[in-house]
Structure 1
Amino acid sequence: MTDRRLAIDAWESLFRAQHEVFGDINEDFHDDTLNQAEYDVLLTVTRGENMTARLRDVTANMLISQPSVSRLVDRMVARGLISKCADPDDGRGSLVKATDAGAALFRRVAGAHGRAIAERMSLLNDDELQQLRELTAKLRKKQPSC
């Protein structure tokens, strides 16, 4: 059985590291260009075929509620960063697509953001980064209930 105190200490360390790293790299985002939430939407959308994604897939990748994602998407449509239309394969769903302007802005911010992430994470060597990725993936898997 896992040592409870060690588990709590490890959790606190992980939480504080995530908070500090996120604070450092969050400086890449500005409300006058692209904020973190808008970046996350465009990240999902630009990875899709023809820079398009189902709204439900965008919502699944976000750490905010579905109504908040819907409002965010509507604001991004108004800003000309994405377009939104009915999903022909799902009468209740919507598709969102990056506009040329949205994709260009995303690429510009993503380049700077990627460099900031790489710089911050360069404190770890490649083996440690691989191990970190494996450990966090393991933590993200839900454990069966007893």
Structure 2
Amino acid sequence: MTDRKLALEAWESLFRAQHELFTDMMADFDHNELAQAEYDVLLTVTRSPDMTARLRDITANMLISQPSVSRLVDRMVARGLVAKCPDPDDGRGALIRATDAGARAFRSLATVHGRSIASRMSRLDDDELRQLRDLAEKLRNR
């Protein structure tokens, strides 16, 4: 049986580390044309085949509600970062495709943000990073 006190200590440490790292990394988005939430949308879209993802898949990867994601995507359409069209396989769904401008903006920020993440995570060696990744995945899988 899991030690309850140890579980609480581990959770608090994980939560505080995530919060502090996330707060520090928000500086990556200062003075950039993409907000953090827009970057997250483009991360999902650009990693998908043909840089096109279902709106429901984007929503599943975000930490905000479906209506909020829909409004965010609509604003991104208006800014020319993504295009939106009906999903031929789901009459109620939509496909979101990165535009050339959106893909360029994403790649530009991804380079900076990737270096920032690597720098902050460099406190851990490769074995520790693999262990952290595997433990986080274990916690996410139900």
TM-score calculated relative to the size of structure 1: 0.94
1:114 lines up with 2:114 in the alignment = yes
* Native 8 Å contact 2:82 2:98 kept in 1: yes
* Structure 2 runs not aligned, ≥5 long: none
C-alpha distance after superposition, 1:112-145 (max 9, x if no partner): 0000000000000000000001111111122xxx
How far apart are the structure 1 equivalents of 2:101 and 2:90?
27
Backbone CA RMSD of aligned residues: 1.1
Structure 2 vs 1, CA of residues 88 and 48 (structure 1 numbering), >3 Å: closer, same or farther?
same
| Local SS of the residue matching 1:64 | coil
How far apart are the structure 1 equivalents of 2:40 and 2:127?
27
| Local SS of the residue matching 1:93 | strand
* Structure 1 runs not aligned, ≥5 long: none
Q: Residue 38 of structure 1 corresponds to which residue in structure 2?
A: 38
Runs of at least 4 residues off by over 6 Å:
none
C-alpha distance after superposition, 1:36-89 (max 9, x if no partner): 110010001001111111111111111100000000000000111001011112
Question: What percent of counterpart residues are identical?
Answer: 73
Structure 2 vs 1, CA of residues 25 and 99 (structure 1 numbering), >3 Å: closer, same or farther?
same
Bigger mean CA deviation after superposition, 95-104 or 29-38: 29-38
Q: What is the aligned residue count?
A: 142
* Native 8 Å contact 2:32 2:109 kept in 1: no
How far apart are the structure 2 equivalents of 1:31 and 1:96?
25
TM-score calculated relative to the size of structure 2: 0.97
Matched AA of 2:71: R
| Local SS of the residue matching 2:95 | strand
How far apart are the structure 1 equivalents of 2:88 and 2:41?
21
Q: Residue 62 of structure 1 corresponds to which residue in structure 2?
A: 62
Structure 2 vs 1, CA of residues 108 and 32 (structure 1 numbering), >3 Å: closer, same or farther?
closer
Q: Residue 89 of structure 2 corresponds to which residue in structure 1?
A: 89
Report the CA distance between 1:92 and its aligned residue: 1.2
Q: Residue 23 of structure 2 corresponds to which residue in structure 1?
A: 23
Q: Residue 72 of structure 2 corresponds to which residue in structure 1?
A: 72
